[in-house]
Structure 1
Amino acid sequence: MSEPRTPAQVLREARQKDSRDKRARVLSVVDQLIADGEPVTFTGVARAANVSHWLVYADGMREHIEAARHRQGRAAAGSARAGAREPAGWKLEKQLLRDDNRRLREEVERLKGAVRRHLGQQLDQFGAADLGTRVDELTAENQRLQVERDNALTQVKQLNEQLSETQDDLVGARESLRHMIRAENR
């Protein structure tokens, strides 16, 4: 049978497991970014892996990320050379696709703006009709609450006066009791 572990050992093992898990997440994110063709950056890896910036710059992690960045740089340079050898038709096709994408993005933004304006007009129309009624309701509720507050303050004042009178009576009764006890003891 093994010896029982101390709390320090348990904590150390938990931290080591957590560190291994985080490092594995970093390596996995780097591999995923490379596979997706996304640029590998220290900040991007830290965010995607949900780890601290310190960890991505730590020994072992930094080298792996720098190697991935170096591989991406070589691949980009190779594709730039390959792009120079592309047929003229492909370059024209790429330019046409870029123009179409730009035009479609502009149209999407224009349509989003139109929808926002239309919804704003609908809200304005709805709000204007019921606004007067709602203001009247809130004013009446405010007045009712003010009356309740004033009544409560009046009641508090009356109760404070009664408490003061009762305390005065109590002080008088205690004083009278003291006199009676002294008179009895003599």
Structure 2
Amino acid sequence: MSGKRSPGDVARRRDSRDKRTRVLAVVQDLLARGKPVSFASVAKAAGVSNWLVYAEGVREHIEGARARQAAQPPQSGTGRPVGMASLRTDLEMARHEIASLRQERDTLKDLVRRNLGQQLDQVGTGELVARVNELTGQLNELKAEKDLWMREKNDLQEKLAEAVEDLAGARISLRQMVRAASTGSGTTL
């Protein structure tokens, strides 16, 4: 390869060096302000591509900054380290608040459940009463119809019994007439 560099190569190298310098400055700034260092936040703050922050020579600086942050104790809003007693107190307060919120949630769920039940009862009761009344009216109509049909059936049974008696009497008369005609003792019509 020749030792000559084109103006484009020089510009690209300068641009790359400037971007890397910006990335390292952003990492130092985030560390100084106590802000979390991540590859995405560094790339965004420096105005560079995600590829560059993972490139060799840059990645190591970001990983080192993340390791330093992980090793430091949590900081309070004043920039001083937070003590274990303070963390325990915060944890206990959070637990009490969570328990209180759970109880409130359960109370609200129960209240909503009862209100919905009452609404369903009110809507359902009116409709059920109307349906029961409708069915009762239909039942009364059917009973009246049944009674009418039973009377009609009884009338027809009585007429049938009379017709059967009349038929039996007619058969007896017819037999007598046939016997009389066959013996010759009967009169001619």
TM range (shorter): 0.3 to 0.5
Choose between structure 1 and 2: higher helix proportion.
1
Report which of the two structures shows the higher radius of gyration computed on alpha carbons: 2
TM-score (norm 1): 0.40
